[in-house]
């Protein structure tokens, strides 16, 4: 069975790019969210195997959403997506329980490598 993934990014273009990489590599994208609050709600509804989570978003940022998801489900697998120069936020995210991070602009092989590693 293919792994079920939730994509979280406030930019529809970025969600589309990640979705394209994932579906081409045999993953099932079960949902998309445009901010952290939606991400928490959809995670609880969909119970995906993995979440790709943008850090900088309106309403609730990725780190707050990560903490909320991990609070509800300590076994949640979340990979953070960040722009260059967000190292401090990436460290916060890893400390909050993120499995890995991928840097924008995305390279397909790096995205797949991070997901395979996170899903172990």
71-93 residue pLDDT tens: 999 999 999 998 877 788 889 99
Q: For 41-69, how does the pLDDT look when each residue is reduced to its tens digit (9 = 90+)?
A: 999 999 999 999 999 998 999 999 999 99
The residues pairing with 5 across neighbouring beta strands, listed in sequence order, are: 29, 50
Length of the chain, please?
A: 120
Q: What pTM was estimated for this model as a whole? A: 0.94
pLDDT at position 4: 98
Q: Does domain 4-119 have CATH number 3.40.50.2300?
A: yes
Distance CA 75, CA 69 (A): 9
CB 70 within 8 A of CB 102: no
| Both tokens assigned to 82 | 């960040």
pLDDT at position 87: 81
Indicate the average pLDDT of the chain.
Answer: 95
pLDDT at position 10: 96
- Domain chopping of the chain, boundaries: 4-119
Distance CA 100, CA 105 (A): 16
pLDDT at position 86: 75
Question: What's 9's DSSP letter?
Answer: -
Distance CA 11, CA 18 (A): 11
């Amino acid at each position: 069975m293919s792994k079920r993934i939730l994509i979280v990014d406030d930019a529809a273009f970025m969600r589309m790019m990640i979705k394209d990489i994932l579906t081409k590599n045999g993953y099932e994208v079960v949902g998309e969210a445009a901010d952290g609050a939606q991400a928490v709600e959809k995670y609880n509804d969909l119970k995906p195997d993995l979440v790709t989570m943008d850090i900088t978003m309106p309403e609730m940022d990725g780190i707050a959403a990560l903490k909320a998801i991990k609070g509800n489900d300590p076994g949640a697998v979340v990979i953070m997506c960040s722009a260059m120069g967000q190292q401090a936020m990436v460290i916060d995210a890893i400390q909050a329980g993120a499995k890995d991070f991928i840097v924008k602009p995305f390279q397909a092989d790096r995205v797949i490598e991070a997901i395979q590693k996170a899903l172990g």
